[in-house]
Amino acid sequence: MPRFVLLVVIVCADLLSWVRPIDAANKTWTNPVTGSWTDGTKWTGGVPTASDSAIFNRAGAYTVNFFAVFQNIQNVSLTAGNVTFERITSPATLNADNYELYVSNGTLNLGQSLPVNVTAFRTTLFNGTLTVNAGSFLNTFDLYNDGALLVGSPLYGTGQLSVYEEMIVGNFGIGH
């Protein structure tokens, strides 16, 4: 009997070694044109899912519209262009709790007229600009080099703001 149990354990372990985990993919916005987040033709490989990263690396100015989107995602990365995330209908939320929203050498605008909310384990601005408008929510951010956070509506939240260079605040009250 002990040999049979050992044989079953070995066979099961061998079978499980053939099972591959689902690989995360980088899904890239294909052209610098306005479109819907949920339009699979705007992405390489289709709309990002919870195990994927969304990449925006095209020069130009364009808007990504959110029509009732609540999307779990691994990462959001913007490395070129001037991209606006705009809510058309509620909700408009990207949840990158596992890792980060990264803006480098580009500009990301959250909500021009209606809020777009982003939660991330970390938000990093490295030589990039992030503009938070229309009551949009962003839960974390770190500024590096010439990164800039521009706030066009009240900035609320708890936690830590880390600035790794100079911080200039003008004509604004700080604190609560």
Whether 146 has a pLDDT exceeding 60, the answer reads yes
* Mean predicted lDDT score pLDDT of the chain: 76
Whole-angstrom distance, CA of residue 106 vs CA of residue 74: 20
Listed in sequence order, the residues at least 6 apart from 93 whose beta carbon sits closer than 8 Å to its beta carbon are 69, 70, 71, 116, 117, 118, 119
Which is more confidently placed, 83 or 16?
Answer: 83
Lowest-pLDDT range, 49-58, 121-130, 144-153, 158-167?
A: 158-167
Whether 147 has a pLDDT exceeding 90, the answer reads no
| Per-position DSSP letters for 26-76, written without gaps between them | EEEB-SSS-EETT-GGGBTTSS--TT-EEEE---SEEEEEEEEEEEE-SEE
**How buried is 114 (Cβ within 10 angstroms: 0-12 exposed, 13-18 middle, 19+ buried)?**
middle
Backbone angles phi, psi at 5, to 5 degrees: -60, -45
pLDDT at 113: 84
Render pLDDT for 72-84 as a digit per residue (tens, 0 to 9). 999 999 999 999 9
Whole-angstrom distance, CA of residue 135 vs CA of residue 154: 7
pLDDT at 176: 40
pLDDT at 32: 96
Which is more confidently placed, 58 or 90?
Answer: 58
Q: How confident is the model at residue 21 (pLDDT cuts 50, 70, 90)?
A: very low
Q: How confident is the model at residue 115 (pLDDT cuts 50, 70, 90)?
A: confident
Place of tokens 């911080």: 167
Q: What average pLDDT score do residues 28-44 get?
A: 96
State the Cα torsion 30-35-39-41 to the nearest 10°. Answer: -30
Taking the alpha carbons at both ends of the chain, their separation in whole angstroms is 70
pTM above 0.85, yes or no: no
Q: What average pLDDT score do residues 52-58 get?
A: 95
Side chain identity at residue 56, one-letter code: F
Which is more confidently placed, 97 or 117?
Answer: 117
